[in-house]
Amino acid sequence: MKYLFAILFFIFIFFNLESYSQDTLAIQKTKLYRNFLVNEGKWKIEIPVWIPGFRGELSYGNINLGGSDGDDPPSIEQPIEKPRPGNIFKRLFNSKGNLNFFFMSSISFTSNKFLVLTDGFSGSAGKSILFRYNDKEFVNAKFTANLYRLYAGYKIGDIWSKSAKTNYRFYPYAGVRFHDLSVQTEVLNLVDIEKLNPIWAEAIIGVRNELLLKRWRFLLNGDIGFLGKNSKVSYMINLSAYFRISNLISVKAGWSDWDTNYNGTYKDKELKLSMHLSGPTTSVAFHF
């Protein structure tokens, strides 16, 4: 009988140990399930929203426009200033309904060494922004922008910490950026044009930095583009922090800064256009 009790006791201990082992593995699997270091996924799709401040200038024929976000319209004597972060956040709670935001989408594929990404930005600015017209009066104007970017990068840096809990990656990349802008204002009716709609493409080069810390992923990338020898440099900078909720989903918060310049001929007249957008971004990303 005593052997029977001993056998039953060992059976009890065995099943409890096995249950504990399975629970431990389940906990470990759950941790790995949400870990960027071991389960990042090759494909990523993002659906973000960007809430930027705005500054824009336009010169077309004998028309000169300039405007920016601000609490009050600048006087004729004041220069146009870049939007300040305080103005951006104040618009979130402004009862006048002058909040302008950009919808974005992004799809990327990452292999062992290569990265391919395409993204797009679409929105408008200028519903309640007053623009200076030829430094004489204020007029209403609306800038609508569509930006599409495609680039490919190659990983030349892949550094792990000794504990294997931190991973840094570095990608130089090259690609192309497409701009589709339109400007609408009553001033343009003076030259029998309802709106200006220049479209152009430019080559870009840039760098991408990634830092992975288990459930966190920090990203900093920036690129510059050149339209021609007489044009200014355009650039875009993105700073983001991702938090992994599950194997499928992560959430992102960050900041994006986009400066674009165009200098060319549009409908037989010289067109100079510049636009600067800067502000916070947020998104949901899907990994698979």
Q: Which residue has the higher pLDDT, 13 or 231?
A: 231
Identify the band that residue 220 occupies on the pLDDT scale cut at 50, 70 and 90: very high
The alpha-carbon radius of gyration of the chain (Å, integer) is: 26
Count the alpha carbons within 13 Å of 187 in the hemisphere toward its beta carbon.
24
Average pLDDT of the chain is 77
The residue-averaged pLDDT of 6-14 equals 42
pLDDT in tens, 76-112: 566 655 555 555 555 555 544 445 667 778 899 988 8
Q: How far is CA 190 from CA 139, 226, 255, 272, in A?
A: 13, 32, 38, 18
pLDDT of residue 167: 93
Distance CA 9, CA 131 (A): 85
pLDDT for 218 equals 96
Distances (CA, A) of 288 to 16, 44, 160: 36, 7, 23
**Can you give the pLDDT at residue 166?**
92
Give pLDDT tens digits for 28-55. Answer: 444 556 778 776 678 888 887 887 878 8
Note if the pTM is more than 0.85: no
Q: How confident is the model at residue 74 (pLDDT cuts 50, 70, 90)?
A: low
Q: What is the pLDDT of residue 27?
A: 42
